[in-house]
Structure 1
C-alpha cells in the first residue's frame, strides 16, 4: 500500500524590492496536517513552466495576499485600490483556469477566492467600504488576534462548505477590503456574511473548487473545524 501524499502546490508571496519568494505560516502546515504534502511553488510567469506546475501537482492552494489588478475585470485602478502583484496575477490566473479545465482540486483563501472569481470572468469591489453604499457594513479588517473569529457567516445547506464544516452558520476571522461583486459563470455562492458580503464560492460540477474570503490557515490550530477545509482539498486529490 502506497503512503504517497497528494502534492498540493501553494502559490507564493513575492517581495519585489528584495526579490524574495515566501509564504506565511499556516498554508503548507494546514495541507500537511490534513494528509497532503504542501509545496511552495516558484514565482514564474513563463507559460511552459506554469503548465509544468499544473501537470505536476495533484491540487492547488491559492494563498492570500495583495489586491488583484482591476484590469483583469475591465476596470480602472481606482484610488482606494492597494498593492498589486503582476507576477502573482499571471501565475494564479493561469493555475485557476487550467485547474478548472482539468478538474484538478483547487482551494482559494482571501485573495485566492478573488483570483478564482476574476480568472473565470467575475468582478470585485476594489474597496467594499467605498463602493457599497446601500447598507451598513460590519468590520472586515479586524483589530483582534489573527486566529480569533469576529463575525458570523451563513452557509448554504448541502454546499461543499456546509458538509466540510458540518454547520450552516459559523464565526470566522476577517482581513480584507476587497470582495466579490459579480460572481463568475460556473460559480455558486455558498456563504454570506451578516451584511451580505460573499464569503465563499464553489464551482459547479467540479471535483473540488472552493474559495473562502476568510483565513482558515490562521484558525485551524485554535479550532480544528477549519482544518476540514484543507482535508477536503487533500481528500479530493486521492
Structure 2
C-alpha cells in the first residue's frame, strides 16, 4: 500500500492566558480530518521561520490555514495597519517563509482564508485592509450565521484549475474575513469572485499546484468542497 503524502499544516498561536497559562498552538480538527479524508498524512508545523526550509524538505505539500488575524500591510506596501487589523508576526513570519520554500520547490500549496491572502502576498500581490471601507455595497463577509452554513455564493472563473477541480461555475461558501485580495500578484489568476466583486480565490499556473480559496472548504458547506482537498493531496502524491 503506498504511503500517504505528508502534508504540513500551519497552526494558529495564542499568547499565555485564556485556555493555558503558557503560550499555545491550536487548530480546528476539521482541517486535519479533511486532509486525512483526501488521503494525506497531516503534520502540524510549529512557528520557526529558521526551520521552514528543513520542514519543507521532508513534506510533500503545504496547507496554510486561516485564523482571526491579518497579514501585516508592511509586507505588501499597504501603509499603516487599519484599526481593525490584528497581527500575529511570529505566525506570519513562519508561514511566509514556508510558502516561499514550498514555491521554490514547486511543492503543492493550498491556502485557505488568510492562507489565500498570504499566498497572494508571496506572489507579489496586495490586499484590501478592511472590506467595508473599500468595497461599496459589500456583502457581510463576516457572515452572521454559523460557519457551518453558506454565507453567499461565488462565481468560479472558467478555464482555471479551480473550475477543473470542482466542475461547477458557482459554489456556496462560508465567509469569515474582513480583508481580501486586491491584486493576485505576478502571473497569478483570480479564479473566484463574490457577487460584490470581492476576490474569493486565486491560483498561479506557473506552479504545478498553487491554489488559494477565501472560504473554508474543510467545513464542506458545498458538496464540491472536498474535491479541493482531493486535488491538493493528489498533486502532493504525484
TM-superposed deviation, 1:100: 1.5
1:106 and 1:210 in contact (8 A); partners too: yes
SS in 2 for 1:95: helix
1:80 and 1:126 in contact (8 A); partners too: no
Runs (5+) with no aligned partner, structure 1: none
CA distance in 2, matches of 1:223, 1:129: 26
1:32 to 29, 36, 40: 36
Displacement over 6 Å in runs of 4+: none
User: 1:47-126 maps to which residues of 2 (within 5 A)?
Assistant: 49-65=51-67, 66-126=69-129
CA distance in 2, matches of 1:104, 1:213: 20
Runs (5+) with no aligned partner, structure 2: 17-21
State TM-score, norm by structure 2: 0.93
TM-superposed deviation, 1:223: 4.4
CA distance in 2, matches of 1:186, 1:9: 25
User: 1:142-153 maps to which residues of 2 (within 5 A)?
Assistant: 142-153=143-154
CA distance in 2, matches of 1:128, 1:186: 24
Query: Is the deviation greater in 77-86 or in 201-210?
Result: 77-86
1:67 and 1:111 in contact (8 A); partners too: yes
What is the total number of aligned residue pairs between the two structures?
A: 231
User: 1:155-170 maps to which residues of 2 (within 5 A)?
Assistant: 155-170=156-171
- The aligned counterpart of 2:216 is 215
2:47 and 2:90 in contact (8 A); partners too: yes
Query: Is the deviation greater in 37-46 or in 226-235?
Result: 37-46
